Amino acid sequence: MNLVIDIGNSNVKVATFNEDFLLNNEVLEYSKLIQYLKDLNFNSGIISNVGNQNLESELLNKYPNLISLSSKLDFPIQFSYQSMDTIGKDRIANAVGAFVQNPNSNSLVIDAGTCLTFDFVDSNNCYHGGAISPGLTMRFKALNAFTEKLPLLDVKSADIKLIGSDTKLSIISGVVNGMAGEIISIIERYRQKHPILSIFFTGGDSEFINSIVEFEKNGIFAVENLTMIGLNTILNNNEK
């Protein structure tokens, strides 16, 4: 059994695989991970870490059958990027996940999490990079942090209007519709360059954004565990 650990900015995602088949997927607080792992028997595992270096070090010391995602590993795709060491680990995993979903095709991954990221893999299975912009929650926090009077909002279940009739609704309209418009515009520009394009949408806010943009009508496929699938593939690619 393979173990995949994705240490994010606010929590930890843990998944187990039997070869390429996803068995289980959990989201845990940092403090709950060690106890959770005590009950698991796994053959090998991989850690992707963007949020807690101390936790990663503790895990690597405790479990010798774990490896850390880094540029030194072997990958099933090529990279055309100025520095492998500066690519976000989640972006690497997403690129590999897109390769798994549809190899030998032009693919765009859109990840709506803490940040909104776009990552492109071409039909030769080569990763080229993409774009990074603020995620949904970050946009709301920025309006609150850098102004005197705008409130901090959380609108995962709000009815989104185009025209906001008060300050709260205007913020919601600007943030959500602005993010949706950004996504649609980027997709259109990629499609102009690559008419045959597979598009994969993932991330913690993907379901909410999906309800606003109606991605199915735009030929976009939601893959909830794309990052974990990519990490598991990287692990399999590096097993001795």
Angle at 197 between CA 185 and CA 115, to 5 degrees: 50
Question: Could you give the CA distance from residue 192 to residue 187 in angstroms, rounded to a whole number?
Answer: 9
What whole-number distance in Å separates Cα of residue 186 and Cα of residue 24?
33
Query: What distances in angstroms separate CA 86 from CA 57, 83, 92, one per listed residue?
Result: 20, 6, 10
Active site residue 20: no
Strand pairing report for 78-79 and 126-134: parallel
The helix (run of H) or strand (run of E) holding residue 3 is strand 2-7
Q: Which of 90, 111, 119, 205 is catalytic?
A: 90
Residue whose C-alpha is closest to residue 139's, from 116, 165, 110, 109? 116
Nearest residue to 105 (alpha-carbon basis) of 120, 88, 90, 87: 120
Supply the residues annotated as catalytic: 90
